Amino acid sequence: MRRTTTWRGTPYFEQLETRCLLAGNTCGGSEDETEEIGADDLLFDTAAIGVRDAGSTMGSAYDLGQLGATRSFDGYVGGLDYRDVMRFTIDSDSTVTLGLTELRADIDLALYDSNGRRLAASDAAGTTSESIVADLAAGTYFIVVTPWRWAASTYVLSVGATAHVADPPAEDSPAEDPPADTTDPPVTSFPDVAYYGGSNEWNLNAINAPESWAQGYTGEGAVVAVIDTGVDLYHPDLVHQIWVNAGEIAGNGIDDDGNGYVDDVSGWDFAAGDNNPDDVHGHGTHVAGTIAAESNGFGATGVAPDATIMPVRVLGDNGSGSASSVAAGIRYAAANGADIINLSLGGAFSSVILSAIEYALQLDVLVVAAAGNESATAPGYPARFAASLSNVISVGAHSSAGAIASFSNDVGASGAVQVDAPGVSVYSTYVNDGYGRLSGTSMAAPHVAGLAALALSANSALSATELRSLITAGADRSIGGSDAIGRINAATTVALAAGGQSSTSPSASSQSQSAAPFAAVVRLIFSSIEDDGVPVISAQATDASAADDASLTSLDDLALLSAPREVMRSRRAADDLAVVALVDDASAVLDEEALCEAIDSDEAWDELAWHSQLDALASA
């Protein structure tokens, strides 16, 4: 059952969207009760075979068998039968032709691979016939027939495959040709194209997304997880982009694919603990539309309009959630095939979120995080992890005038790898089939996630680290008032990807090395608790210039991030707690708020007293 909201009225507005904070509260919701329709055992013994009982998921798909000569099937979709899914195989590389004819309403056609990634789609308006022609490798694929909105119609589906024939060997040349020049030509940006759309599409033109589309790179094959307030699963601009878990059968109450989540056909809701990641808040739907809203002639268009969106709901209806839910969402997305994770959220440092992002790095998943809207001198978390993890990139926001947004957090001395993207008055999808304008680094981050999808569609072999390098290498235009690497540019990044380049961006390296050196490394040790509840604190200060990387790491057996006056790690053992801090000024003293945040404890520290040894930091 789809979640509903009491909000009604004109679905068009503009506001500054602050990032969703990790406040620790969740909200309940209802469970998805999608009905499963099983397939009959029909035989291919006539020219026209009915598939009216085709399943509605990949797990219950009607099996068309191995494709060869063109065959036709009749079917019906609409009403409670909201989707027909059919499976076929080809035993060699082939050109597959699909057609949908004799329509009485607007019915659409899509082609997916066995991992649930959409490969192609046809969504002509009205009763116009649909068709897909695709060159496919040997394997198993799925055909999905869906109505647009509330349409219902009978249809005739035609399917066929023609195997590729290898070219005959070339005849011997009478004379040996001179050796070919094997020097790779320099990769240049894609050529400019005409301005796309109108004022609502300023953001797409600002990052040169249409230049990538003109070269055929639209995000096909890339799966982007939106870890947020959910996604409007039935929005007309997103319904065809939603990820489908091929290993799950909807509504049977069984964890068919054994991933620990029952009936997670379209993702998971970690805020409510169910399989319905639908959105009633609007934030996640706006983010998803910026990434991959369909290019269909109406509404909004995403940066990568043919990418697939994996909805992962970790924030409740009020836009807040727990660090543990966010971490679980990151792990879910990485384990279930996401190539890119978008985190348009933020809060305090969290070790569980850090661990989850490190897990995503192990699975080679790029994490794109909003820098934050606090006008601060450094990005918030988790974006600040871009200073130490090669699969994380931080994103600041700029306006249509090419100036940094007043609310956008700087890089400062954090060492974070950060780029800028459109984040002021961005037009995108919203709940209740609506559209709206939002501002914030939450809106900037999905532009980078969409760009990563474009690059992957040009070169699917790119690793997460290589993706980040190409994004920073393409950020070749400065933004007024920003200390980030530059504004993203799809015409350059995707051209580099298509050209096989994956080298690290010099600008990214120089930014990381520009962080100010630390004057002191401070270790605060909580050795005991007095009768009045006040902890006894001792401090050890070390000249940072005299401490090598190994000794810094050994303090807590964890790598330290490059951030000024920032408490980096904490470890609790019985009544002892050791905290490692980096101080950019030897005379600076950590304040109570920073220490409480570092401890990340549920205990009250309002009466926290400073041990006299802390005063010695001034002379450290």
Using DSSP bridges, classify how beta strands 153-163 and 94-101 pair: parallel, antiparallel or unpaired: antiparallel
In sequence order, the β-bridge partners of residue 422 are 398
Kindly state the tokens that stand for 441: 């680094």
Domains of the chain and CATH, by start: 14-19+190-513 (3.40.50.200), 48-163 (2.60.120.380), 520-619 (no CATH)
Tokens 């329509």 sit at which residue? 103
Ranges assigned E (strand) in 302-456: 308-313, 340-343, 345-346, 366-370, 392-398, 418-422, 426-430, 434-439
Using DSSP bridges, classify how beta strands 340-343 and 366-370 pair: parallel, antiparallel or unpaired: parallel
3-state secondary structure 43-84: CCCCCEEECCCCECCCCCCEEEEECCCCEEEEEEEECCECCE
Ranges assigned E (strand) in 530-619: 535-543, 566-573, 576-583
| pLDDT for 419 | 97
* Helices 351-362 and 323-335: angle between axes, nearest 10 degrees: 10
**What is the mean pLDDT, run by run of 10 residues, along the chain of 620 residues?**
34 45 34 24 28 63 88 84 86 93 91 81 88 93 85 90 75 56 64 95 97 97 97 97 94 94 96 96 97 96 98 95 96 96 95 96 97 96 96 97 95 95 97 96 98 96 95 91 95 93 47 34 42 44 36 26 28 31 36 44 30 32
Kindly state the tokens that stand for 219: 């995000």
Task: Specify the amino acid at residue 511.
Answer: Q
Cis peptide bond N-terminal to 147, omega within 30? no
Give the Cα separation of 492 and 206 in Å (integer).
Answer: 13
| pLDDT for 390 | 95
| pLDDT for 401 | 92
| pLDDT for 192 | 94
The contacts of residue 457 (CB under 8 Å, 6+ apart) are 217, 218, 219, 220, 221, 222, 304, 306, 307
| pLDDT for 329 | 98
| pLDDT for 147 | 87
84 contacts 110 by C-beta, under 8 angstroms = no
10 Å CB burial of residue 191 (0-12, 13-18, 19+) is exposed
| pLDDT for 331 | 97
For the annotated catalytic residues, the residue numbers are: 228, 283, 442
31 contacts 453 by C-beta, under 8 angstroms = no
| pLDDT for 209 | 98
